[in-house]
Amino acid sequence: MTKADELKPRDIIFHPVHFLSLGLGSGLSPFAPGTAGTLLAVLLYIPLATLPLWAYVTVLVVGSLVGIVLCDKTSTKLGGHDHPAIVWDEFLGYWLTMLFAPTGWMWIVIGFILFRLFDIWKPWPISVIDHKVKGGFGIMLDDLVAGVYALVALQLIHYYIF
């Protein structure tokens, strides 16, 4: 198969598994698909934020477990590890960032910025996970750890600054 013949994310978007792993299509953005996916995660967070804590945590756990399978299937279909169009992991990483977040648009924006910074910067051990842990588990894990870092940073900002 030549480079021109390779399967592209837009070729598989209509399959339900790939539609989800491609972030409902947000991962098809030609510019910064991870950021586009996180922006859609912000919009989806707004109704999620109204859930009781137990339900929100259930969404995180189930979404992460399902994400391992979704991301693995799409990654395999596209023939490479963690294709940029796979953004389901950004959804869950951002939603994890916002666990226990104070209410208000300021916190939604701060959470977005913190998550994107940690996801792009990839401080240790995120960088190790990104390079060493393969498959759907690796795709999900590096963003979930970035989400934990961003969650901690958000809580520290709330506690010490605002």
Average pLDDT over residues 67-76: 97
| Selection from 122, 113, 105, 93 nearest residue 154 by Cα | 113
| Within-domain flag for 89 | yes
pLDDT tens track for 9-63: 999 999 999 999 999 999 999 999 999 999 999 999 999 999 999 999 999 999 9
Task: Give dist(CA 144, CA 111) in Å, integer.
Answer: 14
pLDDT band at 4 (very low <50, low <70, confident <90, very high): very low
Evaluate whether residue 2 is within a structural domain.
no
Structural domain contains residue 3: no
| Token code pair at residue 131 | 């390079």
* Position 54 in a domain: yes
Residues 33/27, Cβ–Cβ less than 8 Å = yes
Domain tally for the chain?
1
In a domain, 75, yes or no: yes
Task: Determine, yes or no, domain membership for 1.
Answer: no
| Across 68-75, average pLDDT | 97
pLDDT tens digits for range 15-27:
999 999 999 999 9
Nearest Cα to Cα of residue 82 among 147, 39, 12, 129:
129
DSSP 97-148: HTTTPPSSHHHHHHHHHHHHHHHHH--TTHHHHHHH--HHHHHHHHHHHHHH
- Please check whether residue 94 is in contact with residue 43, taking contact to mean a CB–CB distance below 8 angstroms: no
**Which pLDDT belongs to residue 154?**
98
Q: Which domain holds residue 95?
A: 8-160
Q: Is the pTM of this model over 0.85?
A: yes
Residue 123, CB-side half-sphere exposure with 13 Å CA sphere: 10
Q: Which amino acid is at 26?
A: S
* 103 belongs to a structural domain: yes
Domain-located, residue 39: yes
